[in-house]
């Protein structure tokens, strides 16, 4: 029994094998930006990348507003529901 591999898989694997020099300028720019973002995000894990102090203050204000509206709690965690059968 022969194993049949779709031809689209071969084209996808071929695209993955391309080196950085074979990419066109737009693809190279995109790949460079993704790598740059990855490096920046590793320096500050769990935080926003390239955030300004004004935006950080805005986010903090929005989090506080949501806590006031919805009664506090940990806004970074998904709420836990407890359904009781009657």
Q: CA 18, 3, 12: angle at the middle one, nearest 5?
A: 20
DSSP label at 73? Answer: S
Contacts of 63 (CB under 8 A, 6+ apart): 75
85 or 21, higher pLDDT: 85
Domain ranges of the chain: 21-70
The residue to which tokens 């709690």 are assigned:
73
In this prediction the pTM is 0.47
pLDDT in tens, 25-72: 999 999 999 999 999 999 988 888 888 999 999 999 998 998 888 877
């Amino acid at each position: 029994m022969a194993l049949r591999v779709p031809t689209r898989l071969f084209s996808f694997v071929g695209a993955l094998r391309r080196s950085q020099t074979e990419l066109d300028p737009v693809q190279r720019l995109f790949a460079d930006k993704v790598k740059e973002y990855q490096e920046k995000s590793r320096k500050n894990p769990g935080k926003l990348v390239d955030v300004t102090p004004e935006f950080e203050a805005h986010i903090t204000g929005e989090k506080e507003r949501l806590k006031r509206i919805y009664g506090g709690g940990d806004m970074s965690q998904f709420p836990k529901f407890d359904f009781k059968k009657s």
